[in-house]
């Protein structure tokens, strides 16, 4: 069965239940504040959530420490990809790339930006059409901003 990209914004627990506890704590308490300006997009195979991410049109809770920088990307028409996560058992199967491909199809003509806290993830995003733009001094260490 080919996985499908499904908007689970109205049923956030479908995606939140998949997240590790620290990631979940980073979004769930704030979700009511963001649900009107963000979309939770999950990759589903039948009823199983394989992974997904959240597309934000406003500064997300994980980007508050660099709010002005984040807002500058929104002002240029970019959307932010946050909380992109696939469970361990589904990694290494190309699902992250599929999610990005389906995301671009769902938002034709839009550009996206994201941050990573592991520099080793940059090649994955570069293969998927993102460019490494800059390093950010994040509240918990270095982060790297990619856009595309």
Between 146 and 87, where is the model more confident?
146
Q: What is the mean pLDDT of residues 48-74?
A: 95
Tens-place pLDDT, residues 74-133: 999 999 999 999 988 999 899 999 999 999 999 999 999 999 999 999 999 999 999 999
Three-class DSSP category at 41: strand
| pLDDT reading at 139 higher than 80 | no
> What is the structure's pLDDT at 123?
97
Distance CA 4, CA 44 (A): 5
DSSP state of 37: S
d(CA 41, CA 38): 10
For 134, the 3-state DSSP assignment is strand
pLDDT for the residue numbered 96: 96
Domains of the chain: 4-147 (3.40.630.30)
Tens digit of pLDDT for each residue in 34-51? 999 999 999 999 999 999
pLDDT higher than threshold 80 for residue 138: no
0.85 cut: is pTM over it? yes
Inform me whether the pLDDT recorded for 1 exceeds 80: no
Note whether 56 and 80 are within 8 A (CB).
Answer: yes
So what's the pLDDT on residue 6?
97
pLDDT at 33 over 80: yes
Residues 141-145, mean pLDDT to the nearest whole number: 94
């Amino acid at each position: 069965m080919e996985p499908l990209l499904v908007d689970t914004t109205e049923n956030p627990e479908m995606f939140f239940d998949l997240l590790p506890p620290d990631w979940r704590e980073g979004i769930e308490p704030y979700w009511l504040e963001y649900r009107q300006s963000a979309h939770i997009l999950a990759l589903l195979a039948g009823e199983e959530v394989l992974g997904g991410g959240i597309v934000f049109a406003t500064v997300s809770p994980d980007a508050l420490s660099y709010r002005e920088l984040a807002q500058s990307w929104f002002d240029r028409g970019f959307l932010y990809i946050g909380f992109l996560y696939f469970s361990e058992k589904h990694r290494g199967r190309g699902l992250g790339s599929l999610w990005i491909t389906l995301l671009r199809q769902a938002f034709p003509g839009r550009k996206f930006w994201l941050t990573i806290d592991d520099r080793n993830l940059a090649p994955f995003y570069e293969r998927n059409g993102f460019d490494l733009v800059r390093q950010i001094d994040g509240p918990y260490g270095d982060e790297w901003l990619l856009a595309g």
